[in-house]
Structure 1
Amino acid sequence: MKVTLKVVGRMRLTDGEVALEPAFALLDAVARERSVQAASRGLGISYRSAWGRIAALEAALGRPVAVKTKGHGTALTAFGAELRDALAEAFGACAPAVAASEARLAGRLAALLSPVPPRLRVALSHDTLLTAALAGRPEYEVAIAGSAEALARLAAGSVEAAGFHFGARSPEPGSLFAAVFADPALVVEPLFLREQGLMFAAGNPLGLADVADIARTGARFVNRQRGAGTRIWFERLCREAGIAPESIRGSESEEFTHQAVAALIASGAADIGMGTRAVAERFGLGFRRVGEETYFLAVRREAEGDALASLLDAVRGLSRVMIGYAPAGREPVG
């Protein structure tokens, strides 16, 4: 079993906070390529986003880290080069500890696996933590779907379990979500809490704070597919703000994962979308928290077993260490 732990360091400064891993990746790429355009291409981000990160880093540090020279591309300043070397040394020193932690975690998870695990068909609303927990588990047949579609598949009998969320403390009476909790044939397990919010380019160049700002500025929004829990939450935010969702530029767009939304924003093809803090951090995006929600797993009672218990243990363990997540067991904070 291969387990990978992602360590994300942060540096607190007088004027802000700097995520170390994205900062090092960008400084290292600029040092190699001597071109922000080439560096951004290699990192999979837009040219504008790369300069936005550099500007944010310089604003937080109060010192220039890169300089653009006519006819010679972009080079790190002496300070930027020293910072890049310091970060390289720090990450290199962390590597043995991370490898040791990975080995220990791999051993513990391997001990939890059943020797002959049953195969379980699962439909899931996409989530980074859950995808990581299911990696390398052939006993699960996983299909990614929106929350509503996952529950519809469970009701139709095409899967034995469904992962879902709905962005509220309690489901609306009479909704598909409420019916799941009332069904005696199902066991509904709260898996974890996760932060959702608005994702935008680093530095928030358009100054977007809420749904009203998106509508007012005409910012390019990336939506999720119909039936996705994140889309349901966003449309509720629109109603609470007195805004028709269809008046939001880009509301007709449909992407099927948080990563797809983040990738469009990181590439400069869109300005803002809704997703989890974990994904925003992975893509080096800005993030404004909207609230915290519970992610649930509904399972048919006859499908409960050791394999499911192993998955639940793995998921809850990851929720204690992954950024943007927390173990289930308390009320979400809106």
Structure 2
Amino acid sequence: MRTPGVHLQYSFESRGQRGAEIENPLFDLLGAVHAHGSIRHAATALGASYRHVWGALKHWEDVLGQPLVHWAKGQPARLTPFALRLLAAERAARVRMTPHIEALRAELERVRALALDERQLVLEVFASHDLALPVLRELCAACGLHLGLRFAGSVDALRALAHGRCTVAGFHVPALPGGSPVFAAALKPLLQPGRHKLIGALRRTQGLMMRPGLTPKPASLADVAAQRWRFVNRQPGSGTRLLMDHLLHDAGLDAATITGYGGRCEDTHVAVAAAIAHGEADVGPGVEAAARAAGLDFVPLADEDYHLVCLADALDSPAVRALRDVLASPGWAQALAALPGYAPSPQAGQVLSLTQALPWWRYRTSRRSAAGGTG
């Protein structure tokens, strides 16, 4: 029997989608049976008949060449070990692919918008992963501005801006009034006073996400090291990884003392949260909203400002002005209020200079260092 492959397709429909919602009849079926414990109850939840659900499951068993449900008369329907592994793997893959799926959907929406109206305002944005930015994209769309939003680490987002692949980049930093060699080494070469301008966006709380009931609960990276909890990290170059590296440096800790610190990495807050929720790690960094959504405990470590940045000569473009208007609107503040650990920036939508917004930055540098700024 030929092994079935994966076939992807998309469609244009009147109803939209959010996040990584991807319809698939097989996983809809498996999820319903697993959640409700019977084919009849699963059929009710799906709005289908018992005969339809039973026939669909038999069809997928034929396609996959593996049993999916224990068919014991008079017994509750139970997924087979194969079906449980398949369901878990698909859910994990969906979480990891969330930013890529969102980017693909945004690009397709941009193509459609341009085809419908060439006057549509379009703004390409590369940004560090954040749970509020897809909401910002929706608010902008309602105002006639399409955000071509792509998630990348803070460093990669700033590099995309430097190389002309986007008009706006997003990154985040804590206040750091005492300075930080970690953040300065990573971000300073990519930001130049006078050439780059910041736009206030939001504030959020970063910390440690951990499985519920972890005892003793770590309150710092030093505690994670001492208690040898398994750590799942963010990818190098992400703002969250920079924050973790900064905290290690500040505490005089060696990364090797934390189990898994330099090992497995995930690209988003939700992927780190999913790894912990699935028992693959005990602790990881992330925003409070991701922890709460995954049912995890959370200990705050730092408050951050999330900034958008563009070249100074782009500030007066219609698209950037429209973005600033949305950021300054009550709708943006209301959207952030619904996310745990989030708040609007006091300067939301306002233009900030680097020296105003990043007072911890040490700008007295050699001419040679400044000349290599956009690497």
**Residues 4 and 324 of structure 1: is their aligned pair in 2 closer, same or farther, counting only changes over 3 Å?**
farther
**Partner residue of 2:153?**
146
The answer to whether the Cα contact below 8 Å between 2:200 and 2:306 also exists between their aligned partners in 1 is: yes
- What is the letter of the counterpart of residue 271 of structure 2? A
**Partner residue of 2:337?**
320
**Partner residue of 2:137?**
134
- From 185, 208, 213, the equivalent of 2:218 is 208
Q: Which ranges in structure 2 are unaligned for 5 or more consecutive residues?
A: 1-13, 19-32, 39-74, 77-116, 348-356, 359-375
- From 302, 324, 336, the equivalent of 1:309 is 324
**Partner residue of 1:329?**
346
Secondary structure in 1 aligned to 2:223? helix
- What is the letter of the counterpart of residue 290 of structure 1? L
Greater Cα offset, 267-276 or 152-161:
152-161
Secondary structure in 2 aligned to 1:119? strand
Paired with 2:191 and 2:155, the residues of 1 have a C-alpha distance of 14
What whole-Å deviation, never above 9, does each CA across 1:2-57 have from its counterpart, x for those lacking one? 8999xxxxxxxxxxxxxxxxxxxxxxx999659xxxxxxxxxxxxxxxxxxxxxxx
What whole-Å deviation, never above 9, does each CA across 1:226-270 have from its counterpart, x for those lacking one? 111111111111122221113311112211000000000001111
TM-score (norm 1): 0.61
Q: Which ranges in structure 1 are unaligned for 5 or more consecutive residues?
A: 6-28, 35-71, 74-113
- Return the offset for 1:326: 1.2
CA RMSD of aligned residues (A): 3.4
Paired with 1:31 and 1:159, the residues of 2 have a C-alpha distance of 43
Paired with 1:310 and 1:124, the residues of 2 have a C-alpha distance of 19
Paired with 1:161 and 1:193, the residues of 2 have a C-alpha distance of 18
**Partner residue of 1:230?**
240
The answer to whether the Cα contact below 8 Å between 1:167 and 1:232 also exists between their aligned partners in 2 is: no
Secondary structure in 2 aligned to 1:249? coil
**Partner residue of 2:165?**
158
TM-score (norm 2): 0.54
Paired with 2:296 and 2:37, the residues of 1 have a C-alpha distance of 22
Equivalent positions of 1:54-133 (< 5 A) are 116-133=119-136
- From 226, 231, 245, the equivalent of 1:221 is 231
- From 298, 303, 310, the equivalent of 1:287 is 298
Q: Which structure would you say has the larger Rg? A: 2
Paired with 1:317 and 1:186, the residues of 2 have a C-alpha distance of 29
Q: Could you tell me the percent identity over the aligned residues?
A: 33
Greater Cα offset, 115-124 or 192-201:
115-124
Secondary structure in 2 aligned to 1:149? helix
Aligned pairs, number: 232
- Return the offset for 1:183: 3.1
**Residues 213 and 235 of structure 1: is their aligned pair in 2 closer, same or farther, counting only changes over 3 Å?**
same
Secondary structure in 2 aligned to 1:288? strand
- What is the letter of the counterpart of residue 183 of structure 1? P
Paired with 2:175 and 2:16, the residues of 1 have a C-alpha distance of 32
Paired with 2:247 and 2:185, the residues of 1 have a C-alpha distance of 18
- Return the offset for 1:212: 1.4
The answer to whether the Cα contact below 8 Å between 2:137 and 2:146 also exists between their aligned partners in 1 is: no
- What is the letter of the counterpart of residue 309 of structure 1? R
Paired with 1:198 and 1:2, the residues of 2 have a C-alpha distance of 36
The answer to whether the Cα contact below 8 Å between 2:159 and 2:190 also exists between their aligned partners in 1 is: no
**Residues 4 and 196 of structure 1: is their aligned pair in 2 closer, same or farther, counting only changes over 3 Å?**
farther
What whole-Å deviation, never above 9, does each CA across 1:284-330 have from its counterpart, x for those lacking one? 10001112110000022343334323442354442234221112128
Paired with 2:206 and 2:258, the residues of 1 have a C-alpha distance of 19
**Residues 289 and 4 of structure 1: is their aligned pair in 2 closer, same or farther, counting only changes over 3 Å?**
farther
Secondary structure in 1 aligned to 2:304? strand
**Residues 31 and 274 of structure 1: is their aligned pair in 2 closer, same or farther, counting only changes over 3 Å?**
closer
The answer to whether the Cα contact below 8 Å between 2:124 and 2:148 also exists between their aligned partners in 1 is: yes
Greater Cα offset, 123-132 or 160-169:
160-169
The answer to whether the Cα contact below 8 Å between 2:255 and 2:261 also exists between their aligned partners in 1 is: yes
- What is the letter of the counterpart of residue 289 of structure 1? P
